[in-house]
Amino acid sequence: MVWFDGGCPLCRREIALMRRLDRRGAITFVDVAEDADTCPASRADMLARFHAREGESVLTGAAAFAAMWRAIPVLRPLGLLARSGRVLQVLERLYGVFLRVRPRLQHLARRLERPRASA
């Protein structure tokens, strides 16, 4: 199970791609805004970091992305590589950088989504 922010244009795009890649339907994608009943944490926590369940464990951040990748055959090698502590550390640092710039990227993505007014 993967929880995502359906109000985020970046998240919607990424999850749309993951759904296309998940041809076996191995992952249940849950929009936190629409289905808070299945969330393992508060809505604020769920929106602050990416969450995924792998087996009985709920993972966050880069570890959650790696779990999602492991469930998708074409991305599985990346997910397995992320089981290395060093690789996961690097991915988590990169995820931290992304979280800091995410609001600006969301703003830009929303601007790009808006239909342009005809002249």
Task: Give the CB-side neighbour count of residue 70, counting CA atoms within 13 A.
Answer: 17
Average pLDDT, integer, range 66-84: 96
Quick check: helix, strand or coil at residue 51? strand
Buried b (16+ CB within 10 A) or exposed e, 47-80: bebbbbbbeeebbbbbbbbbbbbbbbeebeeebe
Contact 29, 15 (CB under 8 A): yes
- The rounded distance, in Å, linking the Cα atoms of 30 and 81 is 26
Q: Is the pLDDT of residue 50 over 70?
A: yes
pLDDT digits (tens, 9 = 90+) for 8-18: 888 888 999 99
C-alpha to C-alpha distance for 19 and 98, rounded to whole angstroms: 22
- Note the pLDDT tens digit of each residue in 16-40: 999 999 999 999 999 998 877 778 8
- In sequence order, what are the residues at sequence separation of 6 or more whose Cβ sits closer than 8 angstroms to the Cβ of residue 68? 2, 18, 27, 52, 75, 79
The band of 119, judged by pLDDT with boundaries at 50, 70 and 90, is very low
Residue 22, number of CB atoms within 10 A of its CB:
20
- Which pLDDT does position 3 carry in this prediction? 95
Q: Are strands 2-4 and 29-31 parallel, antiparallel or unpaired?
A: parallel
